[in-house]
Structure 1
Amino acid sequence: MEAAGTWALLLVLLLLLLSLTLPASRARGHLPPGPAQLPLLGNLLQLRPGALYSGLLRLSKKYGPVFTVHLGPWRRVVVLVGHKAVQEALGDQAEEFSGRGTLATLDQTFNGHGVFFANGERWRQLRKFTMLVLRDLGMGKREGEELIQAEVQHLVEVFQGTEGCPFDPSLLLVQATSNIVCLLLFGLRFSYEDEEFQAVVRAAGGTLLGISSPWGQTYEMFSQLLQPLPGPHTQFLRHLDTLVAFTAQQVQRHQGNLDTSGPARDLVDAFLLKMAQEEQNLSTEFTEKNLLMTVTYLLFAGTMTVGATVRYALLLLLKYPEVQKQVQEELMRELQAGQAPCLGDRVRLPYTDAVLHEAQRLLALVPMGMPHVVTRTTHFRGYTLPQGTEIFPLLGSVLHDPAVFEQPEEFNPGRFLDVEGRFKKPEAFLPYSLGKRVCLGEGLARAELFLFFTAILQAFSLESPSSPDSLSLQPAVSGLFNIPPAFQLQVRPADHHPTVQTR
């Protein structure tokens, strides 16, 4: 932390020295109002790196749900706060707001390539292709469900091996969810003891931590100045390089044994076959660069997001043991002993489903949302946003919108149940965003969350060596992502024979 503070101080001094030589960005169009910017510094004084999200929320109280900020001198952003503003933009004007904005911490590597960072025709082709291939590989089908259930069983067996001793579940949960995406991408499943696999998973975690850290947020604001300089950003770029190198290794393996006559075994196979088909098309988007960047992003996202959410859901049950008891009672009432949970059980488990949704809402894994740009000059709420205007849709402000969710900072699964105890989902439940850029892995993520969570709660009672009151629910790091805090977990076999209640 001291090193980060020193770098921040040096940065401010350097900016002040340069403020007389570089022009500030000039707004075009009729943009929403916002705080006045300083030359070169932009709105640095109002937006403290390390608390960028809370700073934007604070500014919205003065400037309203749609306002403009300047992240340094080169980056002008329109911020959307609350369900109505985000819905009107990403939902009602989905096409206009469908461009992908900048993630400075990752742009040096991806450079507009791959399904996540691409725009225009490249993005449309890659997204359509990726969705079709994942569907062919079983996503949304029974084959995909069985793939997840098999990995769930591996994780349950490892949990059983802890024999009631305290352990940190973080790495195991991330490895389990990473294995699912590795099977879809590479046709490979790794042992949890595999050192190379552990290194890849830790690299994904290091990337997540780096881009969400105070320095990562500083880099987002001043990347053009900081990129050529030494600093903490070089460390999380090394983590990202590890992911890219691992992906490149797997692609090379597939190139060496590709069967051009048979069906694709996984996404890399499918992409290579598509590249061969388009070999004579000089303008094709099915290139090795787009393959590498598509797969690297899917590996990163599929490794980190679901594992972090399951971990937070387990933490909530340690914090609120009465909720854990209700979940297990519903599981035992609705599922036969020894019957593995399946996606078809969701409708019979409304309380369990409500707990999972409330965990996602409360965590708000991606509070800043992913940056968008408008694809053409757009009229929005009386303002004119020129083509290329960058948009920050704050998904955390949607999931915690007090106009939709009463007492939004409280954990209350009941908000997802109607008066008869049936599950209900408010329109503002948008952890995967919405519109043209909605998360393409949403279906897979929802299936994984449900199957991992229900299987763990069916098999085990969860305990903590610490008292529930001492467990913090606050993210360990809050930036682009909210990273749940670490905690120790103890698991004991669940009682599958509850006392029969008599009238």
Structure 2
Amino acid sequence: MELLTLLLGLLVSAVLCFYTWSSMYRPQNLPPGPIPLPVLGNLLQLKTGQMVDSLQQMHQKYGDVYTLYLGPRRVVVLCGYEAVKEALVDQGEDFGIRGHLPVVDLYFQGHGVAFSNGDRWKQMRRFSVVTLKNFGMRKRSIEERIKEETRCLMEEFRKTNGAPFSPVFYFKQAVSNIICSIVFGQRYRYGDADFRRLMQIIDDIFQSMSSFWGQLFDIFDKVLRHLPGPHHRTHRFLCELEEFVKERIEADKKTLNLDSPRHILDSFMIRMEEEKHNPSTHFTLKNLITNTLVLFVAGTEGISMTLRHAFLLLLKYPDIKSKVQEEIDRVIGRHRVPGPEDQPSMPYTQAVIHEIHRFPNVLPMNLPHAAAKDTEFRGFTIPKGTDVFPVLTSVLNDSKYFPDPYTFDPNRFLDENGSFKKNEAFMVFSAGIRVCPGEGIARLEIFLFLTILLQNFDITSPVAPEDLDISTQMVGFSNAPPPYEISFIPR
């Protein structure tokens, strides 16, 4: 009897496994890809902690468009400039909705500009783009806020007296102060204990997303969301950050002037007041909090990470650094503060900044997209709701558009006359209708921080240039540089 029960159990298990496998992989005119295992999908073919490298290797085998299974989750992967451009630009409406990212979806639940869809996304994006543009044109513009923060950062660097230090916290707080100024209307002192804790929370969010448990949650979220464990750390850190935002909202409510918004929080709360009788409005407290979190985290992490890469690369290639400083001295001099109007006269600096964006590729995987409907793409049928990964690293390393892509070479952005040359495959901020709404601010910040700091300081490292490691490591969404120390020496 026990043997019969065992055999029956094995038979049922086999039938369930076969059903799961066949439902995952039944022929549907999907793009080609590796055959998945039941339940696990193609997980055994992915290197632990090396998702991007694994996807690039599959790209070599299966082509620019292929199907992959992360456990039971079906994903279509797009590689190379032409495939990504066809999907995000030429068929932008078909691939314009946000895909699943379970490790943060549990918190955002389809709210906020980065993780919403449909009419909610359209309203949140329109509000974000217009508000950022409006604050950029005011008397105290975004440019002035960046210059003010750069002056504060230089004062901190002068206090080091040329001693080497890790720049991570300084860049993170400087960049975060700019977004705090735009969103909350204030900046924080360097060394402020509460603000240091906020910076640590952001680090914790990205570290927990990158951890084994965070990645496991992204694959088996339907089961794990109901079970306790370390896979819920990202959600807890986001809730902790939410408390900071709520405190700012409550403080600003007391002094809110409906006729004169001081910052983005004010602007959103004014819209909430204007639409409080509209039952279908998306200007709600939940969207206020989630929108603010996205602006705060993205405006801190992405740009500060780019600055960390920038100065590491300039330490690695001192000749390139010297050429940028020579152009700064020639075009601007030592006494006038650089401004965005100087960029057209500084082709080499522009080329270096573009290569700084391209080479480390801070957001290598992009955020996931999804098919808005059953979509025909390059002769394949991608079912509605299928997650789509446009791999930006494969675009920025596409040898057809960037020859010798794994070499740091700013000259690729210069023509034969030394003038700056655009490259259509430069998709650092994604493309199409989901392109990053903060692209303009990010570009301005990198230009001003880089030129003002190099105008006033020389940089050195306790490690010889040839021994500096410039490899990257995936942390959360981002490619992070290895730790390093740098000295800022007044010129």
TM-score > 0.5, shorter chain as reference: yes
Please say if residues 142 and 182 of structure 2, whose CA atoms lie closer than 8 Å, have aligned partners that are also in contact. no
CA distance in 2: counterparts of 1:48 and 1:215, whole angstroms: 15
The equivalent position to 2:376 in structure 1, one of 372, 375, 379, is 379
Give the structure 1 partner of residue 35 of structure 2: 36
Larger CA deviation: 359-368 vs 44-53: 44-53
Please say if residues 139 and 444 of structure 1, whose CA atoms lie closer than 8 Å, have aligned partners that are also in contact. no
Please say if residues 140 and 443 of structure 1, whose CA atoms lie closer than 8 Å, have aligned partners that are also in contact. no
Please say if residues 341 and 455 of structure 1, whose CA atoms lie closer than 8 Å, have aligned partners that are also in contact. yes
Give the structure 2 partner of residue 150 of structure 1: 148
CA distance in 1: counterparts of 2:66 and 2:215, whole angstroms: 19
Corresponding residue SS for 1:45: helix
CA distance in 2: counterparts of 1:139 and 1:227, whole angstroms: 44
**Per-residue deviation, 1:284:** 0.8
Give the structure 1 partner of residue 219 of structure 2: 221
**Per-residue deviation, 1:50:** 1.3
**Per-residue deviation, 1:48:** 2.9
Counterpart of 2:86 in structure 1: which amino acid?
Answer: E
CA distance in 2: counterparts of 1:485 and 1:61, whole angstroms: 27
Give the structure 2 partner of residue 243 of structure 1: 241
Larger CA deviation: 429-438 vs 346-355: 346-355
Counterpart of 2:68 in structure 1: which amino acid?
Answer: V
CA distance in 1: counterparts of 2:43 and 2:79, whole angstroms: 20
- Superposition map of 1:159-170 within 5 A: 159-170=157-168
Corresponding residue SS for 2:75: strand
The equivalent position to 2:405 in structure 1, one of 388, 391, 408, is 408
CA distance in 2: counterparts of 1:355 and 1:210, whole angstroms: 33
Give the structure 2 partner of residue 86 of structure 1: 84
CA distance in 2: counterparts of 1:198 and 1:378, whole angstroms: 46
- Superposition map of 1:298-337 within 5 A: 298-337=295-334
**Per-residue deviation, 1:230:** 4.5
**Per-residue deviation, 1:390:** 1.0
**Per-residue deviation, 1:140:** 9.7
Corresponding residue SS for 1:324: helix
Give the structure 2 partner of residue 135 of structure 1: 133
CA distance in 2: counterparts of 1:141 and 1:478, whole angstroms: 38
Give the structure 2 partner of residue 269 of structure 1: 266
Counterpart of 1:46 in structure 2: which amino acid?
Answer: Q
**Per-residue deviation, 1:111:** 0.6
The equivalent position to 1:116 in structure 2, one of 105, 114, 117, is 114
Deviations 1:287-329 (A, max 9, x none): 1111111101111100111011011010001111111111111
**Per-residue deviation, 1:18:** 13
Mind listing any 5+ residue stretches in structure 2 that lack a counterpart?
A: 1-12
Mind listing any 5+ residue stretches in structure 1 that lack a counterpart?
A: 1-15, 495-503
**Per-residue deviation, 1:139:** 6.3
CA distance in 2: counterparts of 1:72 and 1:435, whole angstroms: 29
Q: Does 1:452 align with 2:449?
A: yes
CA distance in 2: counterparts of 1:330 and 1:210, whole angstroms: 42
**Per-residue deviation, 1:253:** 1.4
Corresponding residue SS for 1:23: helix
Please say if residues 365 and 390 of structure 2, whose CA atoms lie closer than 8 Å, have aligned partners that are also in contact. yes
CA distance in 2: counterparts of 1:418 and 1:332, whole angstroms: 22
Corresponding residue SS for 1:115: coil
**Per-residue deviation, 1:412:** 0.5
- Superposition map of 1:90-109 within 5 A: 90-109=88-107
Larger CA deviation: 240-249 vs 162-171: 240-249
Deviations 1:51-93 (A, max 9, x none): 11111111111110000101111x1110000101001100111
Counterpart of 1:45 in structure 2: which amino acid?
Answer: L
Give the structure 1 partner of residue 361 of structure 2: 364
The equivalent position to 1:471 in structure 2, one of 468, 472, 486, is 468
Corresponding residue SS for 1:178: helix
Larger CA deviation: 433-442 vs 469-478: 469-478
Give the structure 1 partner of residue 3 of structure 2: none
Deviations 1:301-358 (A, max 9, x none): 0011101101101000111111111111111111122111111111111111111111
Corresponding residue SS for 2:113: helix
CA distance in 2: counterparts of 1:373 and 1:139, whole angstroms: 35
Q: 1:192 to 1:233 in 2, by over 3 A?
A: farther
Larger CA deviation: 330-339 vs 426-435: 330-339
CA distance in 2: counterparts of 1:475 and 1:232, whole angstroms: 26
Corresponding residue SS for 2:45: coil
**Per-residue deviation, 1:478:** 5.2
Give the structure 2 partner of residue 234 of structure 1: 232
Q: 1:329 to 1:40 in 2, by over 3 A?
A: same
CA distance in 1: counterparts of 2:56 and 2:279, whole angstroms: 47
Please say if residues 212 and 481 of structure 1, whose CA atoms lie closer than 8 Å, have aligned partners that are also in contact. no
Give the structure 2 partner of residue 9 of structure 1: none
Please say if residues 32 and 67 of structure 1, whose CA atoms lie closer than 8 Å, have aligned partners that are also in contact. yes
Give the structure 2 partner of residue 55 of structure 1: 54
CA distance in 1: counterparts of 2:138 and 2:304, whole angstroms: 19
RMSD of the TM alignment (CA)? Answer: 2.0
Please say if residues 462 and 490 of structure 1, whose CA atoms lie closer than 8 Å, have aligned partners that are also in contact. yes
Counterpart of 1:274 in structure 2: which amino acid?
Answer: R
Give the structure 2 partner of residue 7 of structure 1: none
Deviations 1:141-183 (A, max 9, x none): 9822111111111111111111111111111101011011111
TM-score normalised per structure 1: 0.91
Give the structure 2 partner of residue 203 of structure 1: 201
CA distance in 1: counterparts of 2:309 and 2:136, whole angstroms: 27
Corresponding residue SS for 1:325: helix
Give the structure 2 partner of residue 286 of structure 1: 283
Please say if residues 88 and 433 of structure 2, whose CA atoms lie closer than 8 Å, have aligned partners that are also in contact. yes
Give the structure 1 partner of residue 4 of structure 2: none
Counterpart of 1:57 in structure 2: which amino acid?
Answer: Q
CA distance in 2: counterparts of 1:176 and 1:259, whole angstroms: 28
Please say if residues 208 and 476 of structure 2, whose CA atoms lie closer than 8 Å, have aligned partners that are also in contact. no
